[in-house]
Amino acid sequence: MARETIRPDWASKTFAGVVFGTPLALALAGIFAWVGPGGIGAPQKSQFVMWSIAPVWMAVLSTVWLFKSGRRALLVLGLADVAAFALLAAVRHVGGAP
């Protein structure tokens, strides 16, 4: 059985990391804001959540080149975005967001 190699689809992988990694980082930060210690109203939590977006986005962007192809990176990160925003909506609904 032939092993698949990681293809150097630099443009599509970078596109996936930038375009789909940013909303993923935002959604994950939002989830932490709602379910993290103290809930959404914890004092000084907004600063931590704001500053956590960049490292999460950089982690996604730096691992995007480990996907086998750019198409797979787009698909996986797109599905991760949908799942993260669905979870954020569910958390906000349960938490009583306006």
Percent of the chain residues topping a pLDDT of 70: 95
Nearest partner of 70 among 9, 22, 4, judged by Cα:
9
C-alpha 92/C-alpha 96 separation (Å) is: 6
Residue 71, domain member (yes or no): yes
On the 0-12 / 13-18 / 19+ scale of CB atoms within 10 A, 23 is middle
User: For residue 97, is pLDDT > 90?
Assistant: no
pLDDT-derived band at 46 (thresholds 50, 70, 90) equals confident
Alpha-carbon torsion (35, 40, 41, 45), positive or negative: positive
Q: Please compute the mean of the pLDDT values over residues 48-54 and round it to a whole number.
A: 94
Show the domain range for 67. 20-31+48-91
Please name the residue ranges forming H helices in the chain: 10-19, 21-35, 45-63, 70-95
Report residue 32's pLDDT band, with 50, 70 and 90 as the boundaries.
very high
Q: Which residue has the higher pLDDT, 70 or 95?
A: 70
What's the total number of domains in the chain? 1
